Structure 1
Amino acid sequence: MENTLLLNEQAGAAQAAVNELAGLSTLEKNKALSDMADTLEHRQRLILAENQIDLTNSRNKNLSAAMLDRLMLNEERIHQIADGLRKIAALPDPVGSGLMEVKRPNGLDIRAVRVPLGVVGIIYEARPNVTADVVGLCIKSGNAVLLRGGSEAVNTNKIISSMLAAAAYSAGVPEGSIQFIDPTDRSLVTEMLHLRKYIDVIIPRGGSNLIKYVVDNSTVPVIETGAGICHAFIDKSADKDMAANIVINAKTSRPAVCNTIETLLVHRDIAKDFLPLIADKLSKYNVEMRGCERTRAFCPDMAPAGEEDWATEYHDLILSIKLVDDINAAVSHINTYGTKHSEVIVTNDYASAQFFQNKIDAAAVYVNASTRFTDGFEFGFGAEIGISTQKLHARGPMGLNALTTMKYLINGSGQIR
């Protein structure tokens, strides 16, 4: 009961700050972001000390190496987080920007402008950089934010959010705009999902189980993000060296993130040459490979892949591999098992590239480039609040514009209908 009351107080405080926050000037918001970045760098020792507590607790709980990597901070990562806030400050302010303007035959002037969403609730796991990214994006877009991080990173998230809030409030951001839900009681997630009175939108960031739970149980509008069963299809015309480089990067550079590939599809016409080549390269990166029966005919040392592998987001150095007859089979497999996140074809055939991009249902569809580019910074949006895998209200990397909605402003001279 005490935690429930606290949650309602925090959500209410965030909602109370909305109108004043939406009216802040761009200069005021940018000053706050700059001060927030400086604070994180100046006080990084305190952050690292709390992060060590979380890492120790997580190791004792036998969290995977991939999860520990997502949780771990060092001086370089804190500098990157601070630099991310400065990059947000350098981005154009979306609030108040015009979307359309029309003068009707009856003399009415109608304009549509961007306005903040209001209170944004974020439910996320592990990665403490999300705390700073989300707060920075919400402040710049004029939104209050209610943060509910995972228990594995509670100490790190708590100190980062408290530092950011203190710096922001000192710079003129209204009190209550940044709220971190401290208690790790899981029932609070369910209660948060029903606070329609205070929260305007919920954005979950984490594994598929978290996202599914939020989508299935929330009465607050949800933007579905993150789950990434991503694929690479190597077409028969592909440059094999290019294909190998893309697969290695997309699987091994950050295996725990949502834009890494989980399944490799290989055209049967190049299987004899390409499968042994890529298997040898992947083994040097300690990738565990699980192949279909036809794949294992060329690479018998692979573990067998089962039906569940095609539907699994590993978050680890594990890759399922399937031999397919043609591009139609590849597209069918992806549209069956994919999560509408990021997909890539490696090909030298223009028609195949166009066919793949037209037929694949995903937020980002690549030709001859790693899926690892599905990222707010890489798309030029600055930090992202998540990768939306749905079609409403946003899709793909969500930057500042995705954290706004529209308001119509109508000026008349006495018109009546």
Structure 2
Amino acid sequence: MKNTVLVILLFFKRGSFFGRLIVGAVAVSLLFFIFIPDIWFGVSVKNPKRLSIEEICTTPADKLPLYFIVDKAQPLKVMQNLSQHEADSLLGKVGDLPAELLVGYKSYSYLVETRIKNSDTTFSGIYYPVYSEKQVHSKPNALASDLVSHVIIHDTNVGERDLDNDKYFKDSLFQISGKFDGVTIGDEPYKLLTSSGFNISRKAIVLDKGSQPLSITSAALLILFDVILVLLLALSLLPLVLLFRIFKVEPADDADQNPMSTANAANTVRTPANTVADLTPASTGKRVGAFAIDIALINIVLFTVFASFNHLLVFEVLALVYFVACDILLKGSSLGKYILSVQVSAYEDGEALTMPKVIIRNVVKALCGLMPLIYLIAFLNEDRQALHDKAAGSIVVDRVDPLR
């Protein structure tokens, strides 16, 4: 195992120093700003709290929960001054009605957020204030400038079509809930909203609508993976000589020019009769094709049972059970691998993996599934070993007898 870790460290050392620092900084940021807060929220709070606008206003920002539901609140529906073109367009949607009925047409009020990408302006979300029911009922014909808003909703999951005829606000599942990052409204959103006619409190908070906390299990797995990644990146910054000393490996003569040769020599124990050189690593096309078949099968089961693909944790558990079962029953092949005539073998001697190695390989594979780009490691070495192959000492090869 220690030699596997050394191989991974030497692989990281191939990257630039600043590249590793950037990746490490991103990993640490995710750890402290997303994963740890989410697991703390999951442990301390079973369900998001319901808070009224009045409760939000009287609670210091640093005391508000990470996720909550805004209770007894609603967006503002105001009179719209329609142009002739807008009135004609609306008439075409609502039917053959007198144009006079559209004078004072009521619609929900929001601000579109746009971004410039490749010199084109693209739709990226909306901002809209929400008000307590008491506020709205006290001024039934209020304009956006008549009521002060203390809670602003930011939603980047909405599409332009969702806003047609206010479908977004009329959805039966519409709920004002989301994630609060602990800060009040920034200067730019404040200027945009006030310049659009909204009366916004300078202490208003912004809620990211639609953001949901990670489950405790998902957050724990991500924290574990993140910590391991940060530790490996930190160790990869050490000099080669010190790394070899820590892992008690005698460096090869060309270690400075080819550090991987030392790790490969330490990590490889082969028998003359059946070496990995006698095995043919599966081609890139076969590995990608087999993986695609397996993922499609797992997703079919997932959708059949849950009628949705939005269950990451369930998917990971299902995938883990599926791959372990297949490795045992099909002697190192999943259904996708079996169809394309490839299998998993031990790197040292080409034999079938032992049960502990099957478990290690598939657990690491499940963790890598949370950050799929890690799978690309398989295409950066001669034997096409992914990170889970290196962890278990395995290699994916062509089957000698597909029907065995």
TM-score bracket, normalised by the shorter chain, equals under 0.3
TM-score by length of 2: 0.25
| Structure number with higher relative contact order (C-alpha < 8 Å, ≥ 6 residues apart) | 1
Structure number with greater Rg is 2
